Amino acid sequence: MPTVQLTQMQIDTCIAEAKIRTNNHALNGKQDKWYCSPEQRIINDQIGVCAEFAVAIYLGLEWTGQEKHTDLGDVSGFEVRAQQRRDGNNYQLVVRGKDKGDIYILCIVDLVNFWVVIAGWETAANVRTRGVLTYEDTQGYALARTQLKHILDLELVAL
Using pLDDT thresholds of 50, 70 and 90, give the confidence band for residue 62: confident
Q: For residues 148 and 158, what is the distance between their CA atoms, to the nearest angstrom?
A: 16
pLDDT value for 128 = 94
Task: Kindly report, residue by residue over 98-130, the tens digit of the pLDDT.
Answer: 888 799 999 999 999 999 999 999 999 999 999
**Does the predicted model carry a pTM greater than 0.85?**
yes
Neighbour order of strands in the sheet with 103-110: 3-5, 115-123, 103-110, 79-84
Using pLDDT thresholds of 50, 70 and 90, give the confidence band for residue 76: confident
Q: Which residue has the higher pLDDT, 146 or 68?
A: 146
pLDDT value for 56 = 94
